[in-house]
Amino acid sequence: MKTLVSLLVILLYAAPIAAQSPSAKDTAAPVQQLQQRKSGRPIDHLPKNIEVLTGFGERADFSPDNKRVAFMAKSFGDAMVIDLATRKITCLTCRIPAAAFLRVMHLVSGDYILIGPEKFEDINVSRSRDNELWYLSKEKGAKPVKFGIKMSEGVAVSKKGMKIAFSQVHVQAPELPEGASRLIVADVDTAGGTPKIVNRKTVYQSPDRNCTIEAQDFFDNDTKMTFTCYEPNGLASVMTIDLQTGAVTNQSKAPGSYNECEGIFPDGKYTCVEADRQCEWLGGKRGAGNIDIWKLQLDGTGKNFVRLTHFNDYEGGKASNPVVSTDGKYMCFQFANTADPAGVGYGLLLYKFK
């Protein structure tokens, strides 16, 4: 009897303890507590592997031989190029009155692709409806030549051949329904003296604003590419498409957050991402304002993110528009303010991978 009573007492005490014990689900790592952003300028607190390259400019692009970086002096302005050995800066379009370009990128030939309107009207119209593709020869004194193709945002440019990819929405291609967008792959043909876009092929189309497409980077010998899927409420996902099979994969798999791919690594296994993941512990509005640069493995899991910059640790600071050299040794990016429109920058920085 005494043994039975003792057993009953143990059971009576053990039951509430068992009921209060956390399950495996409850013992998951707690959400990181909010931290306070620092005061001051992130540019004044750079780690040893980051150096200031220019005191102005935005939207960098490495040359195929990694000896130069092309960039824009400002939005709706002139295209520039800096020699990384001498740090000499040359203006590519200063002979063009009222140049209003938004981006400059190297073709594998050493020539350039320019993006922007023929003339500036206002920020919204000139960046959307009137945004178009141009060709600029590397020859001294050359003038930009229009391809006659309107396009949306940026362009993917192959580092191996004369292949490009771009997207269009309704304002550039009226045959597309409102809200729809499409991704087009094509070739640049410079034979015959007049550059033109040939072999255009739509490889992916989105029917509505749940995914507005922007082309980003080719990889795996131009058989695949990354693109950004802009989503409602200012969010975005990193996507890849296999150009041979048409298979599309969401690589970031982080609904409710902002993930814009910019800058592929030469092995094609990783991409840089403008992401707001640090808002989980720093707070602030999710989206394209509070961003820093992260590295994402393109393995389809969305789990392998590594933070590369910490500019958003400071009030009003962000790092954006990264591009990786074709040898994988460097990343060039820009610094800006969280209140600035996308793409605006106040100088380029060179990040050396350890």
**Which tokens sit at 216?**
């980003």
Instruction: Report residue 354's pLDDT band, with 50, 70 and 90 as the boundaries.
Output: confident
Predicted confidence band of residue 308 (pLDDT cuts 50, 70, 90): very high
- Give the pLDDT confidence of 84-119 residue by residue, as tens digits: 999 999 999 999 988 999 999 999 999 999 999 999
CA distance 56 to 346: 5
In contact, 323 and 312? CB cutoff 8 Å = no
Whole-angstrom Cα distance, residue 149 to residue 198?
Answer: 11
Assign 9 a pLDDT band (cuts: 50, 70, 90): very low
- Of 268 and 34, which is predicted with more confidence? 268
Return the amino acid letter for 77.
G
Q: Tokens 């876009």 map to which residue?
A: 197
285 confidence band (pLDDT: 50, 70, 90): very high
Q: State the average pLDDT for the chain.
A: 91
Predicted confidence (pLDDT) at residue 157 exceeds the cutoff of 80: yes
Give pLDDT, residue 54. Answer: 98
Q: To the nearest whole percent, how much of the chain has pLDDT over 70?
A: 91
pLDDT tens digit string along 120-146? Answer: 999 999 999 999 999 999 999 899 999
Q: What is the model's pLDDT at position 21?
A: 32
Six-digit token pair at 290?
């509070």
Q: 29-87: per-residue pLDDT in tens?
A: 344 568 899 999 999 999 999 999 999 999 999 999 999 999 999 999 999 999 999 99
CATH number of 49-352: 2.120.10.60
> How far apart, in whole angstroms, are the C-alpha atoms of residue 343 and residue 336?
9
Distant-in-sequence, close-in-space partners of 203: CB < 8 Å, separation ≥ 6 = 165, 183, 184, 185, 241, 243, 246
At 5 the three-state DSSP class reads: helix
How far is it, in rounded angstroms, from Cα 58 to Cα 138?
20
Rg (the chain; Cα; Å)? 24
Query: Do 340 and 321 contact (CB within 8 A), yes or no?
Result: no
Confidence of residue 25 (pLDDT cuts 50, 70, 90): very low
The two beta strands, 235-242 and 248-250, are antiparallel
d(CA 12, CA 312): 53
Q: How far apart are CA 324 and CA 289, in angstroms?
A: 22
DSSP-derived secondary structure for 132-191: EEEEE-SSTT---EEEEEE-EEEEEE-SSSSEEEEEEETTT-TTSPTT-EEEEEEEEE-T
Question: Is residue 290 predicted with pLDDT exceeding 70?
Answer: yes
Total residues belonging to the chain: 354
In the block, which residue shows the tokens 């640069």? 293
For the cut 60, the answer to whether the pLDDT of residue 218 exceeds it is yes
Q: What is the pLDDT of residue 279?
A: 97
The answer, yes or no, to whether residue 3 has pLDDT greater than 70, is no
Which residue(s) pair with 66 in the sheet?
A: none
Identity of residue 29? A
pLDDT tens for each residue of 227-246: 999 999 999 999 999 999 99
Contact 180, 207 (CB under 8 A): yes
For the entire predicted model, the pTM comes to 0.89
What's the sign of the alpha-carbon dihedral 73, 222, 213, 200? positive
* pLDDT > 90 fraction of the chain, expressed in percent and rounded: 87
pLDDT of 15 over the 50 cut: no
Helix, strand or coil, per DSSP, at residue 100 = coil
Sheet holding 89-91, edge to edge: 58-62, 68-72, 79-83, 89-91
Instruction: Write down the pLDDT at residue 192.
Output: 85
Residue type, position 116, single letter: G
User: Residue 8 pLDDT more than 70?
Assistant: no
First-to-last C-alpha distance (Å) of the chain: 72
In this structure, are residues 342 and 54 in contact, taking their beta carbons and an 8 Å threshold?
Answer: no
Residues 6+ apart with CB under 8 A from 93: 78, 79, 99, 101, 114, 136, 144
pLDDT at 306 over 90: yes
Q: Which of 27-31, 140-144, 164-168, 289-293 has the lowest mean pLDDT?
A: 27-31
In the structure, what pLDDT confidence band is assigned to residue 193 with cuts at 50, 70 and 90?
A: confident
Q: Which residue pairs from 29-37 have beta carbons closer than 8 angstroms and sit at least 24 positions apart in sequence?
A: 31/280, 32/280, 32/281, 33/281, 34/281, 34/282, 34/283, 35/281, 35/282, 37/282, 37/283, 37/284, 37/312, 37/313, 37/314, 37/315
pLDDT of 19: 31
| Element of type H or E holding 348 | strand 348-352
> What does the pLDDT read at residue 32?
57
pLDDT confidence of residue 33 = 67
Does residue 16 register a pLDDT over 50? no
State both tokens at 101. Answer: 């370009």
Residue 250 has pLDDT above 60, yes or no: yes
